[in-house]
Structure 1
Amino acid sequence: MTLRSLIAQITQQDDVNFLLTNRIPRQFLTRFVGWFSQIEHPLVCRLSIALWRLFAQVDLSDAKKTKFRSMHECFTRELKEGARPVDDDPGVLVSPCDAIIGAHGDIEGTTLFQAKGIPYALNELVCDGELASHYRNGYYVTLRLTSGMYHRFHAPYDCEIDQVTYISGDTWNVNPVALRRIPGLFCKNERAVLRTRLSPGNHLIALVPVAAVLVASIRLHFLDVLLHLKYRGPNVIPCKAPFRKGDELGWFQHGSTIIVLAPNGFKLCPQLEQGAVIRMGRRLLMLPLWKL
């Protein structure tokens, strides 16, 4: 048995996984990793990436470059041109990121589910009653990025982002083990709510990047601030940022979750189901045909 397989066997045990990733000084370690990952030293970089690869499946074959100055540069790597073809069908909204499809389905009034039988409130997630009411009886899909995945996220459709709401919070792990044990987890963690209007159609789609342990930092290209644990405002940031389908919006420092909120009428594309791996640019949600 290799060291990597031994580590995987140990950490796949629910109790051990939960203890190692949650019963630790989460915010302190998150800040430390944020600092440490940006050290630009060849030996530190090589050892850090080697250690990271013991715990995660990391594929650099489609990366724009494979030599990095720091672990942070590897985490936030760009891809080769054409590595993620974007579906240009105007009837579909594409995945904004590489991810594993998590909980998804119809929003029951304003109630969503983070795992089977574990609900949470939409207004607690977005902290905006008016926005929450827009998605009453709508649709949601949870996209979970593992630590080894490509960590940049993109516009799911031609759109304009007109507001970002930053919500400071905790840094619980957001893996399936934690989602089964911590009620309202997504509403506890640091997150941003990107209010996005599609063009044409003017559908109001919300993207909610949720931070996690070791990953409490979100960079958006169209804002001149880094959203992280020490950021203290403003909470609501108006903007007017147009994007084409597939354009890069920003990145997580390491990896986490994006929750996509859509109004009534949107549905998950056929052949997609919970647990499936999806790549950025592939079809995710079907737009309501009567509103195209």
Structure 2
Amino acid sequence: MTIRGLISALTQQEDLNFLLTNRIPRAALTRFMGWFSKIEQPQIRDISIACWRLFSDLDLSEARQTSFKSLHDCFTRELRPGLRPPDPDPSVVVSPCDAIIGAHGRIQDAELFQIKGAPYSLPDLLGDPALVEQHRNGRFVTLRLMSSMYHRFHAPHDCRIERVTFIHGDVWNVNPIALKRVERLFCKNERAVLQARLATGEALTLVPVAAILVASIRLHFLDVTLNARTKGPAAFSCDASVRKGDELGWFEHGSTIIVLAPGDFEFCDDVVESARIFAGQPLFRKPSVRSRV
């Protein structure tokens, strides 16, 4: 096959992927999936999980349970104790989830990017001018959860969660093809903004972004599930103290978490685009007290 033919074939494949995952009634399909996944009927459960295995690299060998009540029960599975220990170094901020590392780097004033050549802005993402100022010229990293991955997410450091804001939106697919074709996708999708502060005062913000088939985002520390049925603008003031590695909640299906950190934090050595990272592995390194003086 010639280079031109290969490029044409890849483009057609991208077109088909985008058509099948985005040019459909996304919100309706997501609501249906939320209902369907909770059906506790053994035959439906078994067929659903078998189909999921067929089209992904689903591996349940780490799961705490050996059987599941429903597809939802499998999506939101716990792992066996001790499988994701957080890095104990107090200077290290760890990944909150299992993921593929996507776009990351320095925030240029208030601009970051979802994929090379596709910028978006902190004001559009966060919707809070005061929080934008805290992260202006900071660092960001995009963590994409594949559908087959462990879907729970954890505290990246000892911190206090001060506020959660749920922002209604669309449910575009968040795969690289959609990120390349849909401008400001993360700012269009349904998302939660978790504002946290480390004991040493630095602001750390997690933005779990929903996607197609993600029926909800569960937050344990608020005892709330956020989804399209959440009424009105949902802002929750809270004072939740969490330790590094504590479970914060889960996605239903897969999606993305954007982590925003101060500009003097450095990425750890293994943070490389397209690399796989696991919850608890090093993500950022905080500067030492001496280096700030």
> What's the TM-score bracket when you normalise by the shorter of the two chains?
over 0.9
Opposite residue 240 of structure 1, the aligned amino acid is D
Q: Secondary structure at the match of 1:87?
A: coil
Cα distance in 1 for partners of 2:81, 2:132 equals 37
Cα distance in 2 for partners of 1:196, 1:154 equals 13
Superposed CA deviations along residues 79-133 of structure 1, whole A, max 9, x for unmatched, are: 0011112100011100000000000000000000000011001111010011011
Cα distance in 1 for partners of 2:270, 2:227 equals 36
Q: Residue 289 of structure 1 aligns with which residue?
A: 288
Q: Secondary structure at the match of 1:160?
A: strand
Q: Residue 6 of structure 1 aligns with which residue?
A: none
Cα distance in 2 for partners of 1:237, 1:289 equals 32
Cα distance in 2 for partners of 1:272, 1:162 equals 27
Displacement of 1:272 after TM fit? Answer: 2.1
Cα distance in 2 for partners of 1:233, 1:245 equals 32
Cα distance in 2 for partners of 1:262, 1:105 equals 10
Q: Residue 4 of structure 2 aligns with which residue?
A: none
State the identity %: 60
Opposite residue 100 of structure 1, the aligned amino acid is I
TM-score, with length taken from structure 2: 0.94
Say yes or no: does 1:278 pair with 2:289: no
Q: Secondary structure at the match of 1:222?
A: helix
Q: Residue 90 of structure 1 aligns with which residue?
A: 90
Q: Residue 30 of structure 2 aligns with which residue?
A: 30
Cα distance in 2 for partners of 1:147, 1:171 equals 15
Displacement of 1:202 after TM fit? Answer: 1.4
Displacement of 1:57 after TM fit? Answer: 1.1
Superposed CA deviations along residues 127-164 of structure 1, whole A, max 9, x for unmatched, are: 00110111111000000000000000000000110100
Q: Secondary structure at the match of 2:222?
A: coil
Cα distance in 1 for partners of 2:223, 2:99 equals 26
Conserved 8 A contact 1:171-1:216: no
Q: Which runs of 5+ in 2 are unaligned?
A: 1-8
Opposite residue 227 of structure 2, the aligned amino acid is H
Q: Residue 150 of structure 2 aligns with which residue?
A: 150
Conserved 8 A contact 1:164-1:237: yes
Give the aligned length.
283
Conserved 8 A contact 1:216-1:228: yes
Q: Residue 227 of structure 1 aligns with which residue?
A: 226
Conserved 8 A contact 2:168-2:233: no
Cα distance in 2 for partners of 1:83, 1:229 equals 33
Opposite residue 43 of structure 1, the aligned amino acid is Q
Say yes or no: does 1:251 pair with 2:234: no
Conserved 8 A contact 1:195-1:204: yes
Q: Residue 5 of structure 2 aligns with which residue?
A: none
Conserved 8 A contact 2:33-2:215: no
Displacement of 1:288 after TM fit? Answer: 2.0
Across the aligned residues of Structure 1 and Structure 2, the Cα RMSD in angstroms comes to: 1.7
Check 1:111–1:143 CA distance in 2 against 1; reply closer, same or farther (3 A cut).
same
Equivalent positions of 1:73-112 (< 5 A) are: 73-112=73-112
TM-score, with length taken from structure 1: 0.94
Opposite residue 286 of structure 1, the aligned amino acid is R
Cα distance in 2 for partners of 1:51, 1:263 equals 42
Cα distance in 1 for partners of 2:43, 2:222 equals 33
Q: Residue 167 of structure 1 aligns with which residue?
A: 167
Cα distance in 2 for partners of 1:176, 1:234 equals 29
